[in-house]
Structure 1
């Protein structure tokens, strides 16, 4: 995720002009400008249509459709941002739950119980790490040299990483309860935190595996293209050859809004607008290890 100063007006403008999506649509903008010029030349110089021609009334249709298009784009952007913000809230919840679980275990476990404290110090951040790898469609590499914790070494790289780690955490907690090192009330409190971690995993999977319906996304793109291609037909009578600049600018605004929605609707990727879940996982590891020091 790109970190910037929102009070700096020059940097956002520079970033937007040099962004990847701007480079992708630049040839389309040039082509649309040439297309608008050809329409203007055809109507003004070749067909010699006057401003009393019925073609001028096409602008009325564009005025009506422009309002509809703006509503659709607003809904599209809001939907994409809701997905992005929901993902951020879920990872914020995971951070808080990991800290709370570490704080409770730090209070419940004896200082002399270095083996169990060491296990949780490594296993709790491992859940965030496996979730991070899972959301980015990468196999979790359990490259751990844990002579004291063979259960961690036994984790399978090819299986659902977060589920394995959550199961490992609950099994260990339940074993401590059976050994008398945790009370029933303490077991219940810890179980709530572990359950919250699996709930976060489920919510993130829902966001990742449920994209915006392709019919909706495709319709917006087709709508924008048809809308902008027909703009110079009617507006050439009031704007003349200036449509060569006005129409590409309108297209740039509309298509950029759509592409921003595409960029943020998948928040777990590696684009500049995606969530820095790798840094969040590192912070969870740092904080958990600080709290569970023997």
Structure 2
């Protein structure tokens, strides 16, 4: 995720990075400009006229409808991004709450404190990698019985770590370290981990319907590539930069919507999951070692 100052207008206006929509769209923009310039040459220098009255009327109407579609598309994608951020805020809060409760319940210096620190940190880390599709057991911290062999042959690593946390809680309950009332207090936080993971998987595995996505791209293509025929009559050779600018606006909005609809990746506009995981692990160390 790109960190920036939203109040620094001039820096943002003239700032370009490798994921910027302008850089990505530049080849297409040059193609649109060349295409429009060619149409302008044909209409202005070869045919000299085109039998159209009020040539901008159709594109004005279609542009309004297309703008509404793009607004809905962007809002849908941003809702997914913001929901993902709220879920990861829940992961952070649940990790802290569970750690605080366990730290208060368990006796001073109890070995299980360090085990829970490792397991909870591993769970958050594994969820991040799971959502990005690159889970690697070597990225986890091993402790006690929960070594590399514990995770072998398990495709869903977060579930395996969640199972380990439940096993530890159950072991403490059976040994009398925690009682039934304390077990109920801990259960809400334990259940919320799985609920949050399921919500993240729902966002990741349920993209915007393909027919809607394809339709918008087709409309942008038809709108932009028919635009020169009317705009050239009205703006002459100035139609080339005008059409290019309109293409950049519409295509850029669509590209931004595509990028943020899956907020768990590593693009500049995705959630800053690495920092969230690092922050949670730091909190766990402070809580269990205090």
Indicate yes or no: 2:142 matched with 1:139. no
Of 146, 150, 166, the residue aligned with 1:155 is: 150
Of 168, 190, 193, the residue aligned with 2:189 is: 193
Q: Normalized against structure 1, the TM-score is what?
A: 0.93
Off by >6 Å, runs of 4+ in structure 1: none
RMSD: 1.7
Looking at structure 1, the residues matched to 58 and 17 of structure 2 have their Cα atoms a distance apart, in angstroms, of 31
CA displacement, residues 94-114 of structure 1 (integer Å, 9 cap, x when unaligned): 00000000010111111032x
Gaps of 5+ in 2: none
Indicate yes or no: 2:30 matched with 1:30. yes
Q: Normalized against structure 2, the TM-score is what?
A: 0.94
Gaps of 5+ in 1: none
For the 8 Å contact 1:122–1:289, the answer to whether it is kept is no
Of 56, 59, 63, the residue aligned with 2:60 is: 63
CA displacement, residues 163-200 of structure 1 (integer Å, 9 cap, x when unaligned): 01111111211121111111111101111101001111
For the 8 Å contact 2:137–2:148, the answer to whether it is kept is no
Indicate yes or no: 2:110 matched with 1:98. no
Looking at structure 2, the residues matched to 170 and 57 of structure 1 have their Cα atoms a distance apart, in angstroms, of 71
Q: Which residue of 2 aligns with 1:9?
A: 9
Q: Which residue of 2 aligns with 1:46?
A: 46
Cα separation, partners in 2 of 1:17 and 1:230, compared to 1, 3 Å: farther
Where 1:288 maps in the other structure, the secondary structure is helix
| Shift of residue 286, structure 1, vs aligned partner | 0.8
| Shift of residue 22, structure 1, vs aligned partner | 2.0
Where 2:268 maps in the other structure, the secondary structure is coil
Looking at structure 1, the residues matched to 282 and 196 of structure 2 have their Cα atoms a distance apart, in angstroms, of 20
Indicate yes or no: 2:274 matched with 1:274. no
